């Protein structure tokens, strides 16, 4: 809250010469409510994505962790015990849970109507193989990863993420992080401000624009993948002829 709202104008005019001499800013920041998506990703995803699911659809959540996709009928996670990448304990919500690696999923071809995978692909060793498995077992789905801007501002990538991702139409491009990019801003100042329980207008700017800070990628049938390694190697999957 600004000084104008707290102090009447006549008193402000009297105090201004004195206040201007004091190298101190007093700011009142009230406690805030929780923003949509802070606790459950689906709360912000449904603002941007029409999942278009029907009763009876077989829905797989890969990397469900502690926040399973609410429409999932089956969950997959590689690690069933706590890891540095997961906040809190794994949750099942009464759904079957399979321990499996995304590079080798134990399901038949096209056995799921929808495959959901959020904030997993930035970690994988082999994006081509992981994406091939997703397309093999699913008829369509939704993928989500953080953008490079989110990783850099929060300084989340170091020792956590290997890739940043860009989506163009039905194409996902994976870029291997450089050591400098992994460092990000090298500070928790942005994370502390955004996650603070006291209100700041930048919090609203962040939580109201999650489609800018996350790659949101619905796909149907198949999609194209390009992987750009730091050493110059480029891999692809389902690339158009001559590309």
Provide the pLDDT for residue 79.
85
Per-residue pLDDT reduced to its tens digit, 25-42: 667 789 999 999 999 999
Share of the chain above pLDDT 70, in %: 89
Q: Is the pLDDT of residue 23 over 90?
A: no
Q: Is the pLDDT of residue 49 over 80?
A: yes
Burial class (CB within 10 angstroms; exposed 0-12, middle 13-18, buried 19+) of 113: middle
Q: Is the pLDDT of residue 9 over 80?
A: no
- Every domain of the chain and the residues it spans: 36-234
When pLDDT is cut at 50, 70 and 90, the band that residue 19 belongs to is: low
The average confidence (pLDDT) of the chain is 92
Burial class (CB within 10 angstroms; exposed 0-12, middle 13-18, buried 19+) of 103: middle
Q: Is the pLDDT of residue 98 over 60?
A: yes
Mean pLDDT of 164-185: 98
Q: pTM of the predicted model, to two decimals?
A: 0.88
36-234 under CATH 3.40.50, yes or no:
yes
Separation of alpha carbons 151 and 43, rounded Å: 21
Per-residue pLDDT reduced to its tens digit, 99-130: 999 999 999 999 999 999 999 999 999 999 99
Q: Is the pLDDT of residue 22 over 50?
A: yes
Say how many C-beta atoms besides its own lie within 10 A of residue 141's C-beta.
23
Provide the pLDDT for residue 5.
57
Q: Is the pLDDT of residue 56 over 50?
A: yes
Share of the chain above pLDDT 90, in %: 82
Mean pLDDT of 35-59: 97
When pLDDT is cut at 50, 70 and 90, the band that residue 10 belongs to is: confident
Provide the pLDDT for residue 117.
98
């Amino acid at each position: 809250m600004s000084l104008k709202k707290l102090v009447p104008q006549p008193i402000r005019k009297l105090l201004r010469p004195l206040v201007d001499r004091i190298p101190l800013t007093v700011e009142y920041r009230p406690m805030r409510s929780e923003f949509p998506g802070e606790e459950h990703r689906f709360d912000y995803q449904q603002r941007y994505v029409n999942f278009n699911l029907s009763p009876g659809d077989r829905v797989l959540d890969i990397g469900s962790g502690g926040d399973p996709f609410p429409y999932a009928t089956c969950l997959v996670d590689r690690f069933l015990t706590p890891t540095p990448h997961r906040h809190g304990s794994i949750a099942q919500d009464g759904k079957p849970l399979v321990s499996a690696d995304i590079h080798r999923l134990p399901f038949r071809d096209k056995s799921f109507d929808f495959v959901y995978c959020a904030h997993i692909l930035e970690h994988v060793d082999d994006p081509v193989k992981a994406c091939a498995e997703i397309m093999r077992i699913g008829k369509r789905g939704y993928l989500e990863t953080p953008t490079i801007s989110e990783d850099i501002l929060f300084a989340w990538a170091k020792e956590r993420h290997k890739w940043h991702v860009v989506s163009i139409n039905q194409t996902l491009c994976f870029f291997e992080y450089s050591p400098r990019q992994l460092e990000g801003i090298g500070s928790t100042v942005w994370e502390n401000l955004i996650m603070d329980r006291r209100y700041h207008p930048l919090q609203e700017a962040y939580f109201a624009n999650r489609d800018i800070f996350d790659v949101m990628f619905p796909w149907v049938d198949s999609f194209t993948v390009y992987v750009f390694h730091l050493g110059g190697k480029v891999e692809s999957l389902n690339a158009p002829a001559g590309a």
